[in-house]
Every structure is written in C-alpha cells, then in structure tokens.
Structure 1
C-alpha cells in the first residue's frame, strides 16, 4: 500500500503582479513536485485575470483593446488552482485563510489551510473624508475604471454637442484629476489626447474643454526627478491643461468642485489618483505590520518571525539594499522582480537551501503623455517627447506577461498606424437592463 501523501500547500493571496508572477515561476520551478502531488499551489483573487496597469491609460484612450491588457489567470497558471473570491481574513495562528467565493453570499465563506502563505493583495485607493468625493469621484486602478472613464469622457462630448445651455456644456467639458503621480498624469494626458482628437467629430472646439490636474505637493511625477517633472508640467500646460500645484480638493458635493485656492466650478468628471494604502485584509490580520498596515519583511521577503509567510509589492515593507532609500518603492518594476525572488526563495526553502535577499537597483521611470508624447529617466538618461514615448512602449511591452499578450498589444499598435482610434461611447454598458425594463413598462 502506497504511503499517504501530505503535499506542501502554497496559498497565494492576490493575482496581480506579485501573485501571478510568483505562481508562474513556482509552477515552472516545481513542475515535477506538482505532477507528483508533493506540492499544491492555490491562487485566490476576486478577478479571473491579472491587469497590467501601466497600459490602463492606453486602454482608456482607445489605443489598446481592453482584453489585451489583462492576462487570464487560469490560462497562464495551468498547474495552479485558481479560486475567484474575496479574502476576508488571514489567521496565521491557525495557518488558514477565509474567503468568500465569487457568486456566494456573505455567509458562505470557506477556509483554506496553508503551509506556505504569499501575501500579494496589493493596495487600494487611499481616499480622504472630502464631501462628495465618494459619490462623484472614481479611481484609476482597474480595467473596469479605465473603460468606464473612456465611455464617460466620450459621453460628456455627446452631452456638450447635444445641448445649447452654456452651463450644461461647461460642466460636461470640465475634467478634474487629483493626484499627479504616474496614474494621474498618464490617465489625464491620454484621455485629453483622445478627447482632443474626437472633438472634430462632435463639432466642439477643443479650446472649450477644461482639463485640470490638482496636486497637493509642489511637483508632478516625483519618480522621474525634479527637472523632468517640471518639463512634464510645462508640456501639459502648453497643451492647455491646467496644473495646480500645492492645491487641495476641499469639496465635490453635487459635482461642484471647491479648491483650496478659493476657485469653485462645476465638473462632470472627477478622477482620484492621490495615493494608495495597504489592503484592509492585511491591516486587519495577525501578521507583523508596520505603521502603514504593510507586512514587515526582511530582504529575503519573509515576514518577521514567520518563516512560512512571504510578502512583496504594495502590501509589504521591503528593505532597499541598493542604497537608494530605506525601503523599495511600491511600483510595478519592483513588484515583478520581487515576485521572482520570492518564488525562488520558496523553492530554496522546499529544497533545504539558503534564501537569497532581494536587491535590485532602480532602473528609472518612463511615462506616456498621449500619442507620440512621453517622458523618461532611465539610468540617468533623460528623454522626452517621441523618444521617451517609444521607450515607454518598448519597456512595458517587454514586461507584459505571455507571448500571446505581447503579440496582441503589438498588433493593436500596428493597426493604429493605419486607422484612427474609435470614438464610440458605450456608456449604456453601465445600464444593461434599462432597455429591457423600458420594454416591460410599455
């Protein structure tokens, strides 16, 4: 009689950068163990896909097909168990996690035990108690938010082109973004570029649009350095975009914007990209945390005092051994590289070998500012305009997971050389039952 197997259970919380890349590397490195049943890998995430966030602005602007900037987890992680649901509790004392499966009610929770836990839940938008923000604002972290914004912006052009009331037109054509980091600047620049291109089909003068960036600090894109940040702000202003530094959003009730400099106006669009915070499940767990709710880990990406718990990315405080700072920055570049090191260290643990610390010098930053426009600071080399835009695309294409997705993105870009982007608003997608309900009432 064959002895009963007790496989090592690896549970990965989150299917984003860290979660997917960790699982992808583990299933390759542990192929034989998985085949023999010595190891199981379970990935838990609310979505069935991983979103490559640097391409969200291009998807919102219509330069990329939305389905091409996401990677289906079940197709990529063929040797892993993918469970769609919401993690509600991490109980490390009993080595189990609780999650609510997709489609189940809040009382139908399940528990999954683990031997090795990877915490890769990432971050959520950090909002402030500003009147009207929760009801009128929207973030820019998911593909759903990106596509909603695309449809919303184009719909506002529809509204402006269909109304003669100056107040209605001004409100529809005013777009406010709060937070001048990568997400905010790239989203603003790409959507403004798209809207400006679309104005010709709506009979709208682009000068009638008002695009505004509101930033609490005295600079934009701090990741690319002061000089390139100033150039970015100047480039946006030359396009007619207002960049308000050292300014706060005070209120947004009923879409009436009130700023700390005293200016007030109505705006139909408010996008909030002013920072992120650790996932609430991490903050409420019994794992070792810092004052920001992130898991405290060593350079080997193992939680302090918990040799069976790993963490990386936005929800982890990772020491920076490159000497550039005390801790690594919460960006995609570090997340992808940390995931590979994390997976290798798990394999080392299983093989009884020593772990290797994570050390990676920051290569630099690239940002797209619309079609053929960009800014970059890579290895100290500063570029702007077309060369920076090309570098932005080349770098992120190289980081896009799977050959299939790389080819699809390349195909989208190639077609865009010969055909103008579509400007159709599918705002009705937000109300798919409206037509059916109307038929039932008639």
Structure 2
C-alpha cells in the first residue's frame, strides 16, 4: 500500500507544496510508492493579490490539468477537523455534502488566512472587502449598482478602512474603476482611514513620499491617527468622533491565519500562525508541516519572519513540499531560507512603487514600477504550464521565483 501525503489548501503555498513534493518523488524514483493529494473546496487557485482590480470574477486559475500533469490527486472538499494522533486522518465535507475521512502519513497545512473582522459594531453587516473571491465580486456588483441609489453625498463617498498594503491598492484602483463603470465624468470622494499615525504604517518611511504623492494626485483623502469604531448602513464613526456618511465602506483591517492551525499546534502567534522548525515542521509534531499564511517561519539569519504574502507562500510551499516528501522517503530535508525580499505596491493610475530589502529601498516608481507590478501579478504568481516538465521544475525550492 502506498504512503500518503495530504496537502490541505489550494492557495499559493498549497499548490507549490504539491509541485515540490512531486518533484522529490520523481527525482528519487518514488512516484509509485507515495500518493500526493491536495484537498480544497474548489479545484482552482484564487489570485488574491488581484482581487482589488476590476473584473475580480476572472482572478482565478484552474488546477486540475496542472495537478494531473504533476501526478497529484485532488479532493474537492472543505476540511473541518485534523486528527494529528497516531490515527492520522482529516475529516471534511465534500462538495456534494458528504462527510468524508481522508488518511495521511504526512500532512502539509496550507489553509491560508482570512480577513480579520474584529467586533466593531456594524462591521459584519455593513462593509465590503476584497479578501475572498466572493467578497470582491460582491463589491464589484455594488460599485456598479451605486447609480441606482438616490443621489446623495453618501452615495458618492467611499471609505476604505485601513491604510496598509491592501487598503492602498484598493483605494488607488477605485478612481479608474469608477470611471469605467459610471463614465468619465463620474465624481466620487474616496477617503482612507488609518488608525496608525502614518499612512502605510507597515511599509516604512522610504515609500511613503510616493504613496502620499499618488493619493494626492488622484484626489484621494486620507486620515491617520483615528480608526473606525462603528459602522452602519449610512457610514462610519471614527475614534475622533467624526461622522463620515458613505454607502460604500471597504474593510481592509489585517489578516489572521486559518483556524485549522489551532488543531495542529498550541504555539500560535498573534495572527494565529503555527510555529515551525527550520524545515517547516510544526513544532511538537513529527509528521505535520505548515507553509504560507499559517506558518511563523524565519526567512533568514537576521530574525526576519515571513509575511502573509504570495512571495513568501510560494517559496515556503516549495520547501514544505520538498521536505514532506523527503521526510517520507528518507532523504535529507532542507532548511527554509528566503533572504531576498521585495514589495511592489500598486498605486492605480499613478503607477506603482517597487522596493527591495526589509528597509524597503525604493528602486522603481510610476510607470516602471507599474510594469514590474504587472509582470508579478500576471506572470510570476500564476501556476506553471500544465505539463510535467514545467510543473516539476516549478517545485524546485532553489528557484529564484
């Protein structure tokens, strides 16, 4: 009977984990001895970094041809419970509603993250988001339907809560999106509300002048130092006591890891990510690995931890896939390292800001930055071609991207 690798989640980390594991088995002639299965609610990867763009319903890519080429099985189901005891099963609900049990010898948890929605009054009922594909599609439809609402300042005002990476990309994409929907003469007020004392707080000071320039050039207002404390169907209330009337409130307030992490570890960080060893094994287990947004992993020897980003998820996925297969067939695992770090912040029609290093040295801006962002978002983060050679090559943890 073949041994079984189970990968939970078909995001960036999960897909590249599957390719990494398949590559190891192919290299060592163990393809017939080990079965790799990817389990996820849908046989597609959602390109989450593009959900702030127009036509979000197009921001996914099919997985079945790629997985078939790599020799990876797929189960269309949502995992509810992970048994890490000697029994080693996961319990899931299949797409047809059946409760199923799937055994494994080694498991890679790559179930991703979701938008943090704290208990702010009215948040769940009265906000939009770009976190999941369904969220982004709902917002897209709402933007198109604004013209059907009675004319008012609230109809023409959009509040983006959160001035971090996602909030800035959402806000700066809106002017062009709204003109495309409502015509060249459409006039909307866009306000970014950030509770920190500076816009783009996690991006550091180097790109901030470009961010400010982009917002100002597009007429986007931003308020810092006061978060949103209540939301209703007609707007928001800030901690400073200001009322902003709006029919469109978009929440971008940070991410938290999938709750499945608590089923495989008790050592979780403030974002709910599981602590892992150098080879991405969940601390306290010998047969569960984690990668992507669910793992707290060091990227280098200088104390930098991976962020909840596709660039870290893809690399971690390759290492986790390599290591889970290597561990099962008895060859050495690799220590995850990803010393190169870059960011590319899309700033709508202004362009983009591309930085390198953890101090975020600005290297490209405006049209040059936009060209780099376009390459990242339309080429580098998409799965490889659905043939075995490209699929296995993409799983190599030594690849530069």
Note if contact 2:20-2:319 (Cα within 8 Å) is conserved in structure 1: no
Match for 2:8 among 13, 23, 37? Answer: 13
Aligned to 1:97: 90
In terms of Rg, which structure is larger? 1
Greater shift in the superposed pair: 46-55 or 287-296: 287-296
Offset at residue 372 of structure 1 (A): 5.4
Aligned Cα RMSD in Å? 2.3
Aligned to 1:333: 311
- TM-score after normalising by structure 2: 0.87
1:294 paired to 2:286: no
1:268-313 CA distance string (max 9 Å, x none): 1111111111212222x14343243322111110111312111011
- In structure 2, do the counterparts of structure 1 residues 331 and 347 end up closer, same or farther at CA, with 3 Å as the change threshold? same
Match for 1:269 among 231, 248, 256? Answer: 248
Aligned to 1:173: 156
Aligned to 1:216: 195
1:309 paired to 2:288: yes
Superposition map of 1:340-379 within 5 A: 340-371=318-349, 373-379=351-357
Q: In the aligned structure 1, how far is the partner of 2:234 from the partner of 2:2? A: 55
Q: In the aligned structure 2, how far is the partner of 1:34 from the partner of 1:192? A: 54
1:185 paired to 2:185: no
Aligned to 2:50: 55
Higher relative contact order (CA 8 A, sep 6+): 2
Offset at residue 89 of structure 1 (A): 0.8
- In structure 2, do the counterparts of structure 1 residues 322 and 52 end up closer, same or farther at CA, with 3 Å as the change threshold? farther
3-state SS of 2:52 partner: helix
Q: In the aligned structure 2, how far is the partner of 1:290 from the partner of 1:227? A: 31
Q: In the aligned structure 1, how far is the partner of 2:90 from the partner of 2:234? A: 40
1:344-397 CA distance string (max 9 Å, x none): 212322332221111111321001111351111135343221111111112332
Match for 1:70 among 60, 85, 93? Answer: 60
Offset at residue 88 of structure 1 (A): 0.9
Q: In the aligned structure 2, how far is the partner of 1:291 from the partner of 1:129? A: 20
Offset at residue 35 of structure 1 (A): 8.6
- In structure 2, do the counterparts of structure 1 residues 345 and 401 end up closer, same or farther at CA, with 3 Å as the change threshold? same
Q: In the aligned structure 1, how far is the partner of 2:355 from the partner of 2:30? A: 44
Offset at residue 159 of structure 1 (A): 2.5
Aligned length: 378
Structure 1 gap ranges (5+): 1-5, 405-442
Offset at residue 199 of structure 1 (A): 4.2
Superposition map of 1:389-404 within 5 A: 389-396=370-377, 397-403=379-385
Note if contact 2:5-2:325 (Cα within 8 Å) is conserved in structure 1: no
Offset at residue 143 of structure 1 (A): 2.4
- TM-score after normalising by structure 1: 0.80
